């Protein structure tokens, strides 16, 4: 077990330094097809969580620049309004809207989803981007570990609650979940809230991101006849405010090598624009291509068999009935 854990860290580090940095993006971009990104999105409704900064902001801006109606879900009203103003100004698109919701609260997520759903707007694209990496163990008022609450519980709840609106735009509807390369370093675990001693925020974040990838597989199977595509993706190592705050030493050490937020968001936008027949529901994407979910000899693949029991736990924690 120790050797395998050590190997995962080494393999992840080497893979990351060669693939996830700015130079990796520049190398991979040589194969990008320019025509893939010229699709217009007038008449399409997109919901982006964590849209006031970093990859979420770049995603919202990219979708708005292509004519989409964008709903930015942000925790902080003031920062959300500032981001909204910037996007409307740079894109010239007035159809960008702010939705205030603290995704660490399942109660708030449900309230937001209920209010949004009441307007009965069809939803074409849901981007689960909001994320947090808190290095100290923090428990929300609802009793959830904070990283898990935002990265997993909120992602699960908002996706399930938006399904009726997504089904309205089938077969074009899609859910894109922004994961992280950190998930390569850990298998799926049923200890969702890190009950063991010596809390490690970086490890918990990686575990959360592994759950997101496995959830995407599960959703693709559960809803395969609903006309909704589910995709997870990895943005690479980007220089975002979140990274600078949560991983200051990593951010400083690799500052010159990190991708921009726009480069990190590139594959999110690409996934939103592609014809469904070009994509594989349940797959994991990186730099506009399907990518492996497990590193060689890392021993993480079999752990995905636990996702069924994890979904049952999420249904219970979020009080969301199982769908048939």
Beta strands in the chain (DSSP E): 45-49, 69-74, 96-100, 125-128, 173-178, 228-234, 284-286, 289-291
Spatial separation of the C-alpha atoms in residues 248 and 196, rounded to whole Å: 25
Cis peptide leading into residue 289 (ω within 30°): no
Q: Is 205 a catalytic residue?
A: yes
Name the catalytic one among 205, 223, 231, 285: 205
Spatial separation of the C-alpha atoms in residues 234 and 20, rounded to whole Å: 9
Sequence-distant (6+) residues with CB within 8 A of 240 are: 53, 54, 55, 261, 264
For residue 230, count CB atoms less than 10 angstroms from its CB and return exposed for 0-12, middle for 13-18, buried for 19 or more.
buried
For residue 36, count CB atoms less than 10 angstroms from its CB and return exposed for 0-12, middle for 13-18, buried for 19 or more.
middle
Spatial separation of the C-alpha atoms in residues 104 and 152, rounded to whole Å: 10
Please check whether residue 175 is in contact with residue 228, taking contact to mean a CB–CB distance below 8 angstroms: yes
CA-based nearest residue to 231, from 149, 124, 126, 130: 126
Distances (CA, A) of 251 to 58, 106, 137, 170, 255: 19, 31, 22, 40, 5
Please check whether residue 210 is in contact with residue 232, taking contact to mean a CB–CB distance below 8 angstroms: no
CA-based nearest residue to 179, from 293, 70, 274, 9: 293
User: Active-site positions?
Assistant: 205
């Amino acid at each position: 077990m120790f050797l395998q854990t050590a190997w995962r860290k080494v393999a992840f580090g080497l893979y990351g330094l060669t693939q996830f940095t700015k130079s990796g993006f520049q190398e991979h971009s040589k194969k990008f097809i320019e025509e893939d990104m010229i699709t217009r999105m007038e008449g399409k409704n997109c919901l982006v969580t964590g849209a006031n900064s970093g990859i979420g902001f770049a995603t919202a801006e990219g979708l708005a620049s292509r004519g989409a109606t964008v709903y930015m879900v942000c925790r902080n009203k003031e920062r959300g309004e500032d981001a909204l103003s910037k996007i409307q100004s740079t894109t010239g698109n007035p159809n960008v809207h702010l939705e205030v919701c603290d995704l660490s609260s399942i109660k708030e997520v449900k309230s937001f989803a209920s209010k949004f759903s009441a307007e009965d707007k069809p939803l074409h694209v849901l981007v689960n981007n909001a994320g947090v990496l808190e290095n100290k163990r923090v428990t929300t008022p609802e009793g959830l570990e904070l990283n898990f609450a935002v990265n997993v519980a909120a992602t699960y709840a908002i996706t399930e609650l938006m399904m009726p609106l997504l089904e309205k735009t089938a077969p074009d509807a899609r859910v894109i979940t922004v994961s992280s390369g950190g998930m390569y370093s850990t298998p799926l675990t049923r200890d969702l809230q890190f009950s063991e001693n010596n809390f490690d925020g970086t490890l918990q974040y990686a575990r959360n991101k592994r759950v997101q990838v496995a959830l995407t597989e599960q959703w693709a199977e559960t809803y395969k006849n609903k006309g909704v595509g589910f995709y997870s993706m990895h943005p690479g190592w980007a220089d975002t405010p979140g990274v600078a705050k949560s991983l200051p030493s990593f951010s400083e050490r690799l500052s010159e090598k990190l991708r921009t937020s726009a480069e990190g968001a590139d594959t999110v936008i690409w996934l939103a624009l592609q014809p469904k027949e070009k994509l594989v529901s349940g797959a994991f994407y990186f730099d506009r291509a399907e990518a492996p979910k497990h590193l060689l000899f890392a021993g993480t693949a079999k752990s995905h068999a636990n996702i069924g029991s994890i979904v049952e736990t999420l249904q219970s924690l979020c009080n969301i009935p199982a769908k048939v």
